[in-house]
Amino acid sequence: MCGIAGIMMRNGSSPDVAILDRLADALAHRGPDGMGKHIAATVGLVQTRLAIIDLKTGDQPLYDPSGLALVGNGEIYNYLELREELKDHPFQTQSDCETPLYLYREEGFDFAQRLRGMYSLALHDPAEGLLILSRDPFGIKPLYYTETADYLAFASEAQALVAAGLAGTEILERRRQELLQMQFTCGEKTIYDGIQRVMPGETLVIRGGRIIDRRHLPALPSGSPEKLSEADAIDRLDRAIRDSVAIHQRSDVPYGLFLSGGIDSSALLSVMSDLNDRPIIAYTAGFSGTNVHDERDHARALAAKVGADHHEVDFGEADFWESLPQITAHMDDPAADYAILPTWKLAREAAQELKVVLSGEGGDELFAGYGRYRSVLRPWWLGGRDIRHRGTFDGLDVLRASDHAWRDSISSQQALSSSQGRSRLQAAQAIDCKDWLTNDLLTKLDRCLMAHGLEGRTPFLDREVANAAFRLPDDLKINKRLGKWVLRKWLEKVMPEAQPFTKKRGFTVPVGEWIRSRSEKLGPLVANRDCIQEIADPDRVVALFNANGKREGFAAWTLLFYALWHRANIERRTPGHGTVFEVLEEK
């Protein structure tokens, strides 16, 4: 995993080396093991490397004999199989990222169809005067771009485009409303006016600094649910998960696991313990001295069962006040998800020993684990609701803007997903995979881990697992009011100690408790920020922080996140090592 960036000029000039250096500097945390640069004609590419596979000869840019150049971020997991298929080509390294060079020679703009992995790639074809950008189908690895009259520039993080002077920080109102109401933003346009996402599964073809073609590779298979018995579904699932975990372990450096004690990470632990001779290195977060449920006891028991080397990481109130300014500064593409807190500290601790961790993101989306999916299946007179029907601030009378335009992107995705012959459950899952998964969960994982030079891998977000899971019958996903039914049945078979049918408490972080404990001081500090006064009534913000309800607590957290994020990423004021209070007190 790495950071990549580059530029293609529109006026025929050569890229400014100083701009490329600024891009590389802004992405240095993503790749502490080296930096490479390519400049030819109107194109400049840079990469900062976190060395995972082919430590000796895998430095980038990579080239083929004709001069085709590539920089990449991520991993091509099926690179060994592809090298065998492409054995007539003159490979010069053992890097997994060399395979796309020769796939491009064989397949042209459709080269990504044969890739299995997580990636954002940039290829420069000087002979044809083309720049090609490509992103994996689930959007596990990020990629952003901006266009002006003079150039098209791209980077692994939006903040790098800003830091290099290639884009500004003006906020799009619609995206800000999405962030406040849903905790993430949707679609191609980011919260920054002029910075866009290369969409998951998208390949952009660029000539003369202008996009001339777009190709798309879907993450999910098409079609309605298949007819399949539970036994056949379990067998198919077993093969897919084991195969995916096996290739996600391909690495030339040590790897481990984020173990929450939930169904998804327990499933990964079970398979990893079967595939490895050495003890699995596992990390679990917990919250001592709070009222939230702590999964460490259960995770500890599972780790002991398989002989894992288990590390417990406590995230306390002091961590909250001390680390939140740093975390929000790294969330340049904002997601107000409180799971960023334990993820950040887990990554910091794991990075002292590892370069790679496997994590369970995607299990809830592919196997229908969220309670909102059960609501989607109920008729309206029994409490059924559309996905994300209510925003964080609806009914709280805090924000100055109170319309429902924030839901337009979700509504359009809902209409599109429902028109593709899918069941209501499949449509809801597809909506979550399109935006929530990519722009919240995976953005959180990417930024929190890459801030510490740690690569996160997600075996559930694999095309073979998606093909095995997404078209399962609805009643093998949700049964007897339980989501992830078939995954639970499989886990009960392979690791009964995981107790997959025991009622689980939802994962939460006690941000509400911590905010309420300091609300008298914190509320006015947040309310007095200019960015908060622009969007909310200050007196009502103070009242919100002093309220005791669960919804009010999450809304207060969202405003706190936004105030700190805005200071670091819009006002461009680095937080240093100050606490939440010290940072908010600065003007």
**How many Å apart are CA 533 and CA 557, to the nearest integer?**
16
**How many Å apart are CA 560 and CA 328, to the nearest integer?**
10
The values of phi and psi at residue 159, to 5°, are -60, -25
CA 308 to chain centre: 26
**How many Å apart are CA 267 and CA 360, to the nearest integer?**
9
Which one is catalytic: 2, 97, 433, 531?
2
Length in residues, the chain: 587
Binding residues for L-glutamine: 96
Is 2 labeled as catalytic in the residue annotation? yes
Query: What are the b/e assignments for 290-319, b being 16+ CB within 10 Å?
Result: bebebbbebbbebbeebebebbbbebbbeb
Pairing of strands 255-258, 281-286: parallel
* Under 8 Å between Cβ of 118 and 461: yes
Q: How far is CA 446 from CA 115, 359, 458, in A?
A: 20, 11, 11
**How many Å apart are CA 2 and CA 138, to the nearest integer?**
18
CA 571 to chain centre: 24
Return the closest-CA partner of residue 63 out of 87, 43, 82, 91. 91
Interior CA angle at 196 toward 580 and 367, to 5°? 80
In the sheet with 202-207, reading across from the earlier edge strand, the strands are 62-63, 69-76, 117-125, 130-135, 202-207, 210-216
- Written as one letter, the residue type at 146 is T
Other CB atoms within 10 A of residue 453 CB: 17
* H-helix segments, 419-546: 424-431, 443-450, 463-469, 474-477, 485-494, 511-517, 519-527, 530-535, 538-546
DSSP 288-310: TTSSS---HHHHHHHHHHHT-EE
Other CB atoms within 10 A of residue 503 CB: 6
Q: Which residues contact 79 (CB under 8 A, 6 or more apart)?
A: 53, 95, 96, 97, 98, 99, 117, 250
For 167, the token pair is: 């884009």
- Residues β-bridged to residue 38: 45
DSSP 116-166: -EEEEEEEEETTTTEEEEEE-TT--S--EEEE-SSEEEEESSHHHHHHTTS
The values of phi and psi at residue 373, to 5°, are -70, -35
* Under 8 Å between Cβ of 126 and 41: yes
Q: Report, as residue numbers or ranges, the catalytic residues.
A: 2
